[in-house]
């Protein structure tokens, strides 16, 4: 999980990155684009990267020290479904540690 490098926390990174566990998704990067992604009223960087994870523990291990999973924006499954339907999301698995 150490291969994921989050932005500086200001939400102005190079794009939008989501973490996904089952049907639940959380915003890891791109808070500056959150409103545009949710409402489609403005442009936002695409494709949206989506990192599939096996568990909440895996999500917690991915976060920088001092950031808790409860501090992340949850993304409604219908928004993720729209991104998938519109071809705006790409699944980006983390490399296996080993």
pLDDT in tens, 1-22: 334 555 444 444 579 999 999 9
- Is 56 within a domain? yes
- Is 68 within a domain? yes
The number of distinct structural domains making up the chain is 1
- Is 97 within a domain? no
Distance CA 29, CA 8 (A): 9
Q: At which residue do the structure tokens 């895996």 appear?
A: 58
Give residue-wise pLDDT tens across range 14-73: 799 999 999 999 999 999 999 999 999 999 999 999 999 999 999 999 999 999 999 999
Pick from 98, 90, 13, 21: which is nearest to 62 by CA? 21
Q: What is the pLDDT of residue 96?
A: 74
- Is 7 within a domain? no
- Is 34 within a domain? yes
Q: Go through 14-28 and write b for each residue having 16 or more CB atoms within 10 A of its CB, e for each that does not.
A: eebbbbbbeeebbbb
Distance CA 89, CA 32 (A): 18
Residue, of 94 and 96, whose pLDDT is higher: 94
- Is 55 within a domain? yes
Q: Which domain holds residue 61?
A: 17-91
Task: Determine which helix (DSSP H) or strand (DSSP E) holds 9, and give its type and residue range.
Answer: none
Q: What is the pLDDT of residue 11?
A: 41
């Amino acid at each position: 999980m150490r291969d994921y490098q989050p932005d500086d926390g200001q939400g102005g990174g190079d794009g939008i990155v989501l973490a996904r566990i089952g049907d639940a998704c959380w915003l890891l990067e791109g808070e500056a684009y959150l409103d545009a992604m949710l409402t489609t009223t403005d442009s936002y960087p695409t494709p949206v990267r989506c990192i599939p994870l096996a568990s909440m523990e895996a999500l917690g291990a991915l976060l920088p020290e001092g950031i808790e999973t409860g501090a992340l924006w949850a993304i409604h499954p219908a928004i993720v479904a729209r991104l998938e339907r519109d071809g705006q999301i790409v699944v980006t698995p983390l490399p296996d540690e080993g």
